[in-house]
Amino acid sequence: MSILITLEGGDGSGKSTQSRLLSTALLGRGYNVTSLREPGGTNLGENLREILNDGQRHHAGLTDMSQLYLFLAARAQLVAERISPVLIEPNNVIICDRYIDSTVAYQGYGFGFDINFIKQANSNAIGDFVPNLTILIDCPIETSIARTISRTGKVSRFETKPNDFHQRVRNGFIELANENHDRWKIVDGTLDEKTLSKQILSLALEVIKGSDTNLQ
């Protein structure tokens, strides 16, 4: 058996940094780690990522509905090309920066598309490849917004959305986590990077060591 760990949270929650730190820590302990991000991880996914993040230019007119289907298409491709071939082999760990729950939180709670429809579409896209562990890096939106403003480089399509959008996304993630405490663990995104990375590593190791894998 292999393990799929996903990290979720709002923009500026520190999720991408923590995904990287977790991958490095597990690699350092000798695990076979595959690091992925959504949207992305395949040629199609990386192309869709460009389109989805390009709100100011060629694809400014992309509708909310089109975005929903593009995220799902990127995910279906990621599962087919990168996740299922790794997870059907034994003794692997996949760390994925965003996955099914980002679509429920952003397109469902944020944009108002039907939550059950998204959950069903996610399930069609991923089949049996449900995460063994999902870590929610929860952060007050004031903190995450301040971080995205101070961050240099490209601003993603949703980073320019109003505060109430980000609040709905945050509440959505918390609601999802509370629906399934077996899969989800919530950590405090306001903690310093090192403390948080230690907590995340110990949550990951707990699941890896508790699984019926040869991963020790």
Binding site for ligand TYD (CB under 6 A): 11, 15-16, 38-39, 53, 71, 98, 102-103, 106-107, 156, 158
In 10 A of CB 146, how many CB atoms? 12
Q: How far is the CB of 30 from ligand TYD (least distance, A)?
A: 28
Q: How far is the CB of 209 from ligand TYD (least distance, A)?
A: 28
In this complex, which beta carbon is closest to ligand TYD, that of residue 31 or of residue 173? 173
In this complex, which beta carbon is closest to ligand TYD, that of residue 71 or of residue 129? 71
Q: How far is the CB of 162 from ligand TYD (least distance, A)?
A: 14
In this complex, which beta carbon is closest to ligand TYD, that of residue 82 or of residue 215? 82
Q: How far is the CB of 214 from ligand TYD (least distance, A)?
A: 31
In this complex, which beta carbon is closest to ligand TYD, that of residue 156 or of residue 171? 156
In this complex, which beta carbon is closest to ligand TYD, that of residue 72 or of residue 215? 72
Tell me which residue has tokens 């090309």.
81
In this complex, which beta carbon is closest to ligand TYD, that of residue 52 or of residue 201? 52
Q: How far is the CB of 58 from ligand TYD (least distance, A)?
A: 17
Q: Which residue is nearest to ligand TYD (CB)?
A: 106
Q: How far is the CB of 1 from ligand TYD (least distance, A)?
A: 25
The 3 state secondary structure assigned to the chain is CCEEEEEECCCCCCHHHHHHHHHHHHHHCCCEEEEEECCCCCHHHHHHHHHHCCCCCCCCCCCHHHHHHHHHHHHHHHHHHHHHHHHCCCCEEEEEECCHHHHHHHHHHHCCCCHHHHHHHHHHHHCCCCCCEEEEEECCHHHHHHHHHHCCCCCCHHHHCCHHHHHHHHHHHHHHHHHCCCCEEEEECCCCHHHHHHHHHHHHHHHHHHCCCCCC
